Chain A
Amino acid sequence: MANQWNALTALGHDTAEVVEIGPYRIAERSDVALASLALRRGQDKDFAAAAKTAGVPLPAASTHAGGQVFSAFWTTPEMWFVEADFATHEDIVAALKPAFGETASITEQTDAWVRFDVSGAGLVALFERLSNLDLATLPDGYASRTVIEHLGVYLIRHSAASVTLYGPRSSAQGLLHALEVTAKSVI
């Protein structure tokens, strides 16, 4: 009688999807919680101290930084996106708010985005067809918003063979389609 309610991934399935095309592996990730963290004006000192205590890295412009529990990437001056394991930090705002208090504005972003981890050899050939960013010359740990097809996405380069994308969740299928079509045209 009682209905079983199951959470769906951004692509609309029970489990995250993995697509393999040639050397490329495109893996949907639904196990990462996401929140935006914005410094409130004049709170710089307390904000930095809170971040240190909570173990939230505050990387410089255009970079991503890993951490023990939280990792983060820069999005705009005085704002970062914070990532954590979904299993332990599903309510990521509740985990961050006590640490930052009134020094920051924190908004949950988990279900606003679809995350794809794209890996494999030859990612440069793939992304030079997809984005303005020149993956070949970017350093590891580079993170920036860019356009793929018509969609605004965050692109994080972990290494030459590993890139993370955050795109708008409502366009998850469209973004995956763009990746698939481009990957097929490359191989």
Chain B
Amino acid sequence: MIINHPILGPRDAQEFVYLGDANLINRPDGMSAGIEAFHDYLYNRDNPAGEHRELWYHEQGDRSWLVVTRNTVTHEITKVELARDVARAGGRSK
């Protein structure tokens, strides 16, 4: 599998480490969001057959976190973004 790194171009998946659902970026405020929201964030994951947004770490490359949009059925990768850009676009890391 090849992941098309937004800065470095096509790189072998061997260089990456998989973390999981990209929703991990959207951590609720543990002090105000309430136990239900935080429980949901911590334990509940969607497991779609189809398009899935995932966090991958380019450990043997530039060590950036990426958000990879991948079809879990076909393994087709349709989009690769820097997780930093995704998080900032979502209002994180102000």
Contact = CB atoms under 8 A, between A and B. Distances in A.
Interface of A: 61-62, 75-77, 132, 144-147, 152
B63 A76 contact: yes
B14 A132 contact: yes
B64 A146 contact: no
Interface of B: 7-8, 11-12, 14-15, 59-64, 82, 84
A135 B84 CA distance: 30
A147 B60 contact: yes
B61 A144 contact: yes
B7 A61 contact: yes
Given A61-B8, A76-B64, A77-B62, A147 B15 contact: yes
A65 B21 CA distance: 38
Contacts, number: 34
What is the predominant secondary structure among interface residues of chain B facing chain A?
A: loop
Given A132-B15, A146-B15, A147-B14, A77 B61 contact: no
Given A77-B82, A77-B84, A132 B62 contact: no
A62 B64 CA distance: 13
A19 B14 CA distance: 30
The 9 closest A-B pairs by CB, nearest first: A76-B62, A147-B60, A61-B7, A132-B12, A76-B63, A152-B60, A145-B61, A76-B64, A62-B8
B45 to A, nearest CB: 28
Given A77-B64, A77-B82, A132 B11 contact: yes
A76 B61 CA distance: 8
Given A61-B7, A77-B7, A77-B84, A145 B12 contact: no
B60 A146 contact: yes
